[in-house]
Amino acid sequence: MRAALFFTLVLVFLPYTSATAGTLRCGSYLIEEGDDAFSVIDKCGEPTRRMTITQPVYASSDGGGTYPTGVIANTELWRYDRGSGSFPALITIVDGFVQSIRFVR
């Protein structure tokens, strides 16, 4: 009975802890926010999928508003499908560094 309760609690809280900690385990390595993109590929391999996001760049105007000055394409989403029983990981790479790590269903 105690073992079943412990196992249930681990299953409930483990995904929550991993999702909020900003870390991803790849084999014996940990990927954390702030790591560079090259180390992610070295430790986890190539992502299953990649997507580049183009974002507008805004400047402030004299009247207090903003206006677009151009676009940059320095944000990428990398998806790692980690096998059955594990949630896929989405890593947001900004300017070559891990900005966030999320787990999706």
The per-residue pLDDT for range 10-53, each reduced to its tens digit, is: 444 444 434 445 899 998 999 999 999 999 999 999 999 999 98
Report the range of poorest mean pLDDT among 26-40, 73-87, 89-103.
73-87
Q: What is the pLDDT of residue 10?
A: 40
Mean pLDDT of the chain: 81
Two tokens at 6?
């412990």
Q: What is the pLDDT of residue 17?
A: 39
Q: What is the pLDDT of residue 9?
A: 40
* 87 contacts: CB under 8 Å, gap ≥ 6: 15, 103, 104, 105
d(CA 60, CA 67): 7
Q: Which residue has the higher pLDDT, 92 or 85?
A: 92
Q: Do 98 and 92 form a contact (C-beta atoms < 8 A)? A: yes
Instruction: Read off the pLDDT band of 1 (50, 70, 90).
Output: low
Two tokens at 53?
């996001």
Two tokens at 104?
């999706």
d(CA 99, CA 105): 20
Two tokens at 60?
């402030």
Q: What is the pLDDT of residue 89?
A: 93
* Number of residues written out for the chain: 105
